A and B are shown apart, each in its own frame.
Chain A
Amino acid sequence: MMKLKWRDKWLERKAIEITVQQSRRVFVTVSQDDFRKTMERLVKIKGFTQIATITGVDIGKEIEVIYHLKHKELVLSLRTRTSKKEPVIPTIVDLIPGSALYEREVHDLFGVTFIGNPDLSPLLLPEGWPDDVYPLRKKWTSEIIKHKLEGS
């Protein structure tokens, strides 16, 4: 059996799903309510002080936000979901300062608000970009975005 440094009784109790893809890749899903607590535990106790990036995925009614945390050879992808109507997630910039740009990126492209992040100003989208267009949501296909921008 491979050594699983991330293994944690608390996490196993809280998690909705844990998938060990291979020895160096783990996926953990937690509810939106448990997210901040889980992140604190992973960063402070389990030593996942590094983040590779944050991925947003449009899964229909919800937006999935995946935090790819690093610990030496291991990448633990912690995921949580938030409603598309009002997508909010607590920030982690106080725990991992290196996540600031990644949160701004997801905010730009998916419209997720990271509560507590002091700077969510546009990072990638141009000035004057329409407020309600989040280009990586599935609803906005390349054609619609093009049409909308040409029309405005």
Chain B
Amino acid sequence: MSTFRIPFGPQHPALKEPINFTFKVDGERVVSVKLRLGYVHRGIEKLAEDRTYTQNIHLVERVCGLCSQAHVICFSQAVEEILGVEIPARARYLRTIIAEMERIQNHYMWLGFTAHEMGFETLFMYTWRDREIALNMVETITGKRVNYGINTIGGLRRDLTAIAVNPVKRGLDQLEDRMKYYKKLCMTEPTILKRTVGVGILRPKDALRFGAVGPTLRASGIKRDIRFDDPYAAYEEASFNIITYDGCDVASRLLARCEEVFESIEIIRQMLDNLPKGKVRVRVPSQVPQGEAVSRVEAPRGENLHYLRADGTDKLARLKMRAPTLANLLPLCKMFENMNIADIPMIIAGIDPCIACAERMTFIDTENRSTNSWTGDELRKYSIGWYEER
């Protein structure tokens, strides 16, 4: 039987990071897949070498709109390690609070995005409405909804005002209630079950072999979380559970993220109740001595790693950043194997990619060389229709 090669991607104007997959398919089944990145390669690592440390805080924060706190904490920690600076306890607690809020808004957004991919528009609308609560909470504390601009090397630029605490606590209660409902929905709603159970299998062995991170890894039953294994900020003082599921499919990834939201809410409550008093910042010199550091943070999508080398000037010698999506791409390729074409959008959504959807797909018939193009939206409709017939 002949196989087809299907280029999938790279672009979709509505979504953030384009990517190109070339799927080899046999009938409805995916045989193998090849990756091509770089459509939004912005050369940030190169840009970082031309900037001072203070300027780099703002650059690093813009690596990702959704995980900006994760990147900026990671970078600041690396600089602080080389400087030998310990930041005040209050700053550590506040960094943790903002990082967990970021996780909550990210997981809400992801749930909505996944619902949209499966054609469940009502759930998409509801979750994105509720995500506003989380964004408003972040705005109350930092003054901004994204790219918070509150972190700096040595701590935070602004303190949490007492007046912000109660609205934040009320917001947490609302978010907790809503997520309880969504979790129940994810476990019982036939549309969700049909599209997610048994889809995009990633066995624990493969998850480790290909280096999966974050909720994608934990939904394959591996208990690994940087917040727990390699604690930073104030995570050592927080008590929380690492959520794992062993279904190894998109359904497990859904539930793992839903439950992670409860843990994040719990962490923020603990942090707010035990918030130490005092300064939120220590002043640091603008020149950083020679040295190097590796810093890790558990971003909403998984492990984020920065490697920093300083050469004694006010500019850095090398900054390497590895965001979690890159680590999850090889496991993603594994997940496609033996799945249906109609499952592709759900499997991609399952790793919570910073790449999201794809612009178009082209079917190439290798036998008579005819080409047949689809847009990403058409693929989505095709998958929804394919499932409606079953």
Contacts and interface: CB of A to CB of B under 8 A. Distances in A.
A98 B330 contact: yes
Contact of B309 (A57, A72, A97): A57
Contact of A98 (B209, B293, B317): B209
B320 A55 contact: yes
Label chain B's interface by main secondary structure: mixed
Contacts of B322: 52-53, 102
Interface in A49-63: 49-53, 55-58
Interface stretch (B43-51, B121-129, B339-347): B43-51
A6 interface: no
Contact of A135 (B43, B211, B329): B43
Contacts of B81: 21-22
Contacts of A73: 229-230
Query: By CB atoms of chain B within 10 A, which of A25, A51, A77, A141 has the most?
Result: A25
Interface in A112-152: 122-126, 135-136, 141-142
Contacts of A122: 36, 38
A24 B77 CA distance: 14
A96 interface: yes
Interface residues of B, number: 33
A96 B320 CA distance: 20
A62 B3 CA distance: 45
B12 interface: no
A77 B295 CA distance: 12
B294 A72 contact: no
A30 interface: no
Contacts of A98: 209-211, 327, 330
A108 to B, nearest CB: 8
A39 interface: no
Contacts of A24: 230
Contacts of A66: 307
B318 A55 contact: yes
A75 B209 contact: no
Contacts of A49: 208
Contact of A50 (B43, B45, B208): B208
B305 A68 contact: yes
Contacts of A125: 38, 41
Contacts of B296: 52, 75
B386 to A, nearest CB: 30
Label chain A's interface by main secondary structure: mixed
Interface string B9-52: 00000000000000000000000000111100101011100100
A66 B292 CA distance: 12
A126 B211 contact: no
B321 to A, nearest CB: 9
A115 B322 CA distance: 23
A52 B210 contact: no
A15 interface: no
Nearest to A135: B46
B102 interface: no
Interface in B51-65: none
B326 A101 contact: yes
B298 interface: no
A142 B47 contact: yes
A100 interface: yes
B37 A136 contact: no
B38 A124 contact: yes
Contact of B229 (A72, A100, A135, A136): A72
A72 B224 CA distance: 8
Contacts of B211: 50-52, 96, 98-99
A142 B43 CA distance: 9
Contact of A126 (B38, B208, B305): B38
Given A55-B320, A101-B326, A68 B38 contact: no
B354 to A, nearest CB: 15
A63 to B, nearest CB: 11
B303 interface: yes
A116 B322 CA distance: 24
Given A75-B305, A77-B307, 18 more contacts: A21-B294, A50-B211, A52-B322, A53-B305, A53-B320, A55-B307, A57-B317, A75-B230, A75-B296, A97-B210, A97-B330, A98-B209, A98-B210, A98-B211, A125-B38, A135-B46, A141-B50, A142-B46
5 contacts: A52-B211, A68-B307, A77-B307, A96-B211, A123-B37
The 3 closest A-B pairs by CB, nearest first: A98-B211, A53-B322, A124-B38
